[in-house]
Structure 1
Amino acid sequence: MEKITVIVPCYNEEDAIDYFYEEINRVMTEMENIDFELLFINDGSKDCTLDKIKEYAKKNQHVKYISFSRNFGKESAIYAGLEKSTGNYVCMMDADLQDPPMLLPKMLKIIKEEGYDSVATRRVTRKGESPIRSLFARLFYRIMNRISDTELMDGARDYRLMTRQFVNTLLDMREYNRFSKGLFGWIGFDTKWIEFENMERVAGETKWSFWKLLLYSIEGIVAFSTIPLTIVSILGMFMLVIAFIFIIFIVVKTLVYGDPVSGWPSLVCIITLIGGIQIFCVGILGQYLSKAYLETKKRPIYIVKDTNIDEKNQNVCKI
């Protein structure tokens, strides 16, 4: 019997997880010819999320869980789920029901009948989001698609169904600084996109603040493009040319009109401008340097504190 591993990253989802469990159980029951592994990744939750997951595991042998020693972030949770998955197919979805489980049968049918390596989902609307957040999200995708060789789909969700070959390829990339949306596109393979209307959270509040999303977008830009470094180099050359022009202008002015003491306010503005540009450029260089520094440490992507997965008897389905 074919098997699907459903990976569900969870961080403080005690209000939503019961609704999710009820809905995914309904879908699993409908797909009666498929064996399921429901793999919850507790990413250092501070509420009762883990307690509820353990209750599910007691009642349902298909429920597995991994609990981190602290909050490592969603990217680490995704990698842990991929690494411990055992199914022929692997699916990722959020516990807040913004990723409709009802699409799963359709996604599996596409992979089996049309020969795709993965089926991904994207939102065609951003209903429920603030206009500012939607604006910056669209701007991010436009910038990324212009400066990176990896194509990112606007409105793409992490919700997707993948073949074992697709998953194994992702696992071969053990980089510490992970940006899954970029990795999905970078490895290639044939992917079909399913569009759906934006779904609001069934309960609880989003854990992605505007600041966290901004930092995540910077992570993606640094991980999949070196264009910012090129921009810094061009900017430096431009400022050098401007400086030479000013030097020539000052020399000519001094020879013709003498050297009156004037213009110090404009001089202060110019120095401040150049200083700000230099600090900005150093900051960009620092972002790339910091990522390389973290990679050289070879720290684990996540640390497991508690799990009900039996490593000795874990049989991963082959390609």
Structure 2
Amino acid sequence: MQKLSLIVPCYNEEESIMLFFDTVTKVIDGMNTPQKTVEPEYIFVNDGSSDNTLTIMKKLQAEHPDTVHYVSFSRNFGKEAGLDAGLNASTGDLIAVMDVDLQDPPELLPEMVELINNEGYDCVGTIQHDRAGQGWFRAWASSTFYKIINKISDVRIEPNARDYRLMTRQMVNAVLSMSEYNRFSKGIFSWVGFKTTYLTYESKPRAAGTTHWSLRELLSYSLTGIMDFSDVPLKIATFVGGISFFLSLIGIVFIIIRKLTVGGSVAGWASLVTIILLVGGIQLFCLGIVGQYLGKIYLETKHRPLYIVKDEK
């Protein structure tokens, strides 16, 4: 018998939980044979929901006390905290991370399990073949993000890879050993290494409810990924500052030579102000980049917990 833990972060997903449970249960039941049995372990993480998400989790756990468990936060801490809490609570030999909205097709689970058991993989991830329904700007922004981070980071992140993946216990233990406060799970999954393959699938609409990721949150999450796995922005700030300093030196030499050869001039105040504003803008830009990194270092040094559990069972 092999135990399969399913980590399911939830935020205001009262409409999706039962649909998810029924659908995944049918898939897992179909995986069982007289020769081999898969024992499921559902770990639902309530990320400070304001609807009836926790109530439904408790009801489901009462009906299936041996297979369903839940962890409830004291407030909304974000999906990264939910993933970490679920991974910490899992006890399975294999651990899957899934979204409750069924955009991650459970039908892939049998193939994912087979690839790990029979092909020697430590992780089977998934890639969304297209980004239908997301709008052209989000699709373009996502594509641009992956191009940038893969150029400036030593860790390659598979474009359009989902959080939906199946991992061995050894890999999950390696992920949990990384205790940083600022987390970017896709980068962490890639950084720890291990033998990984990907399955591709067509995008699906949500089974119920609406997405809770705004464009601002996605952009913020992207910046976290870039800063967590690359110091190139700091190098850019250094380069821009160096170029600005060099051009300023040239300007000073030019002014001195002009003064000695042709004489001074009252004209040029507009251009002078423009140059001052340009140099000041460059300095503020560089300071902003450094400030972002310092802010993340500050949060790391505070050693605050990634989340606070209010209730679990």
TM range (shorter): over 0.9
* Shift in Å, 1:240: 0.9
* Shift in Å, 1:287: 1.1
* Shift in Å, 1:257: 2.4
Aligned length: 308
Q: Given the alignment of the two structures, is residue 59 of structure 1 paired with residue 63 of structure 2, yes or no?
A: yes
* Shift in Å, 1:121: 0.2
Q: 1:268-304 CA distances to partner (integer Å, 9 max, x unpaired)?
A: 2211111111111111111111111111111111110
* Shift in Å, 1:18: 2.5
* Shift in Å, 1:243: 0.3
Distance 1:160 1:45 in 2: 24
Residue in 1 aligned with 2:288?
A: 283
Q: Given the alignment of the two structures, is residue 143 of structure 1 paired with residue 148 of structure 2, yes or no?
A: yes
Poorly superposed stretches of 4+, deviation over 4 Å = none
Residue in 2 aligned with 1:170?
A: 175
Q: Given the alignment of the two structures, is residue 196 of structure 1 paired with residue 230 of structure 2, yes or no?
A: no
Q: Given the alignment of the two structures, is residue 71 of structure 1 paired with residue 70 of structure 2, yes or no?
A: no
Distance 1:241 1:279 in 2: 17
2:252 to 217, 223, 247: 247
Residue in 2 aligned with 1:127?
A: 132
**The 10-residue stretch of structure 1 (299-308 or 20-29) with the greater mean CA deviation from structure 2:** 20-29
Q: 1:169-188 CA distances to partner (integer Å, 9 max, x unpaired)?
A: 01111111111000011111
Residue in 2 aligned with 1:4?
A: 4
Q: Given the alignment of the two structures, is residue 152 of structure 1 paired with residue 124 of structure 2, yes or no?
A: no
Distance 2:271 2:213 in 1: 43
Letter in 1 for 2:262: Y
Letter in 1 for 2:169: R
Letter in 1 for 2:43: L
Residue in 1 aligned with 2:48?
A: 44
Percent of pairs identical after alignment?
Answer: 51
Distance 1:282 1:201 in 2: 41
| Aligned-residue CA RMSD (Å) | 0.9
Distance 1:103 1:116 in 2: 15
Q: 1:137-194 CA distances to partner (integer Å, 9 max, x unpaired)?
A: 0000000000000001110000000000000001111111111000011111100100
SS of aligned partner of 2:208: coil
Distance 1:25 1:35 in 2: 10
SS of aligned partner of 1:112: helix
Distance 1:150 1:251 in 2: 49
Gap regions ≥5 residues in structure 2: none
Distance 1:276 1:130 in 2: 33
Q: 1:200-253 CA distances to partner (integer Å, 9 max, x unpaired)?
A: 212211111110010001101110001111111111111111001111111122
Distance 1:50 1:152 in 2: 33
**The 10-residue stretch of structure 1 (254-263 or 215-224) with the greater mean CA deviation from structure 2:** 254-263
1:97 to 102, 120, 132: 102
Distance 1:224 1:69 in 2: 29
Residue in 2 aligned with 1:19?
A: 19
Distance 2:272 2:13 in 1: 55
Distance 2:156 2:3 in 1: 30
SS of aligned partner of 1:189: coil
Distance 1:199 1:276 in 2: 44
Residue in 2 aligned with 1:80?
A: 85
Gap regions ≥5 residues in structure 1: 309-319
* Shift in Å, 1:15: 2.2
